[in-house]
Amino acid sequence: MPELITTSAGLRILVDELPHTYSVSIGCFVSTGARHEPDAHGGAAHFIEHMCFKGTRRFPTARQISEAIEGVGGILNASTSYESTVYWAKVATIHFDRAVEVLAEMLTCPTFDLRELEKERRVIIEEIRGLQDSPSDWVHELLQQAMWGAQPLGRDIAGSVETVTAISRSDLTGFFQRHYNLSTTVISVAGKITVAQVVESVGRAFAGLRPGHMAIPPHLPVPRRGPQVSLMSRDTEQGNFCLGVPGLSYRDPDRRALQVLDSILGGGMSSRLFQVLREENGLAYSVGSYHSELSDAGMWVIYGSVEPETLRDALAICRDMLGDLLRHGVTPNELAMIKEQVKGGILLSLEDTWSVASRNGSHLLRYGHVVPVERVVAEVEAVTAAQVLGVARRLLRPEAMHLAVIGPYEDEDRRELEALVAASL
């Protein structure tokens, strides 16, 4: 288990000593994301993530920031989600202090230089347009919009061209000052390092982090009632689809059963979806499923890309497979194999220092503590066939079904798809 230290200022630091490794990873986890933005400032959290790479007090240019880490063979990256933003670096242990210094500069004193801001605004707009030009990616955003509507979960994390165009420098600095503080931040370190080294280095570098309050998502998300279809007509070579239902939060007691169910349905080459849609029928190259979890909501999604004329056949097979799950559940052999698959994936992921630091930091943000790996494995092992069937019946309801499609389809196709989604499982 990692050691948790809270500094006298109130900064939470997690340290997982892994003396057998040659690297150390540092993650800065901030509990703010797209759900905390007002509608008019959609994309602000993501915009700030970009701006933290564009210049700080001691590293005034983006090049100086990147060279400080990449110049010693390290990795520097970040990501924004609906409820958190993460900045991280992975370096050889001898460069630990440098990595901490760079990350601390990014989180405590970005300059928000106006010229860089205007350049980055154009970059983000192109990022949004690039996503929209990739139907197999954009169909997932289309499903979000269909399921959640005019709520933060119903919009792209990067915002829209309109909101990103309208965001001002004062909007960004105001959001940054409100949400980047001691209460919202966790520093997670894993690798060939000692607790004493981490506490001394991180405590010194992050001394400028301000006091503040924990960010709480402002609204409980309420999914739109289904069944319904969101269709975007595009002259594409494939029909891209996402069939989804509202899922579970990461606090829900059924989440392990859903994890097992998701793996059985679409978690890899041995899953039901892959075997039937690809191996038996040759309908899709890319097909699978996933579940995303937030503090008070979630999604469970089946996705695939098929030849346009086979879309209805593929969706009919997906619905038949969901219906079979509802009637018959899973077999003992499937359950045993998937438990081993899930457990093995969890354990294998812990061989990388960033994976360990990431798991620890995200757990502390979510639960207020790090859940022991042994407990997670035991929870997966304890899942029964009855629990898997129960969570399937809980989620797979007609009024919960949403379908998003992008491809060369017209209004008459929409009516057929609506009838298919509305048909009883």
Averaged pLDDT for residues 321-339: 92
At residue 347, the pLDDT reads 85
300 & 409 share domain: yes
Range of the domain at 336: 228-422
Q: Are residues 271 and 176 in the same domain?
A: no
Is 212 domain-assigned?
no
Q: What is the phi/psi pair of residue 26, to 5°?
A: -125, 125
In a domain? residue 165: yes
Helix/strand/coil for 283: coil
The answer as to whether 220 is a domain residue is no
Sign of CA dihedral 88, 94, 95, 101: positive
Query: Residues 321, 185: one domain?
Result: no
CA distances, 2 to each of 14, 18, 76, 172, 257 (Å):
6, 10, 23, 34, 27
Contacts (Cβ under 8 Å, ≥6 apart) of 259: 291, 342, 380
Q: 395 or 415: whose pLDDT is higher?
A: 395
Q: Span 366-388, mean pLDDT?
A: 94
Residue 214, domain member (yes or no):
no
Report how far Cα 143 is from the mean position of its chain's Cα atoms: 15
Whole-model pTM? 0.94
Does any domain span residue 216? Answer: no
pLDDT tens across 255-313, in order?
Answer: 999 999 999 999 888 899 999 999 999 999 889 999 999 999 999 999 999 999 999 99
pLDDT of residue 121: 98
Structure tokens that stand for 302 in this block? 């089946």
Phi, psi of 204, rounded to the nearest 5 degrees: -70, -45
Report the 10 Å Cβ neighbour count for 315. Answer: 22
Q: What is the pLDDT of residues 104-149, one digit of tens each?
A: 999 999 999 999 999 999 999 999 999 999 999 999 999 999 999 9
The domain boundary, picked from 205, 240, 267, lies at 205
In the annotation, is 49 catalytic? yes
Q: Is the same domain home to 36 and 135?
A: yes
Give 424's pLDDT tier (boundaries 50, 70, 90): confident
- Given a contact cutoff of 8 angstroms between Cβ atoms, the answer to whether 214 and 43 are in contact is no
Q: Which two tokens stand for residue 222?
A: 């309420």
Q: What is the pLDDT of residue 122?
A: 97
- pLDDT 10s digits, 192-215: 999 999 999 999 999 999 999 887
Per-residue confidence (pLDDT) for residue 356, from 0 to 100? 96
Among 49, 83, 116, 120, the active-site one is: 49
Q: Taking the C-alpha atoms of 208, 210, 214 and 218 in order, what is their torsion angle to the nearest 10 degrees? A: -120
Would you say residue 412 has pLDDT above 90? no
| Alpha carbons 337 and 345: distance in angstroms, whole number | 12
- Residues 154 and 286 grouped into a single domain: no
264 lies in the same domain as 378: yes
Does position 34 have pLDDT exceeding 80, yes or no? yes
The first and second tokens of residue 185, run together, are 């931040």
Q: So what's the pLDDT on residue 350?
A: 86
| 158-131-278 Cα angle (round to 5) | 125
Q: Nearest-CA neighbor of 87 among 50, 125, 57, 117?
A: 50
Most confident of 47-56, 333-342, 377-386: 47-56
Q: What CATH number corresponds to the domain at position 245? A: 3.30.830.10
Same domain as 394, residue 319: yes
Same domain, 196 and 260: no
Whether residues 33 and 96 fall in one domain? yes
CB contact at 8 A, 215 and 184:
yes
Residue 51's pLDDT is 98
236 and 385 both lie in a single domain: yes
233-256 burial, b at 16+ Cβ within 10 Å, e below that, comes to: ebebebbbbbbbbbbbebebebbb
**314 and 258 in one domain?**
yes
Q: Determine phi and psi for 111, rounding to 5 degrees.
A: -85, -25
Scan for tokens 């070579």, then name that residue. Answer: 237
With both helix axes pointing from N to C terminus, report the angle between 96-108 and 62-70 in degrees, rounded to the nearest 10.
160
Average per-residue pLDDT in the chain?
A: 94
Report whether pLDDT(373) > 80.
yes
Residues 294 and 412 in one domain: yes
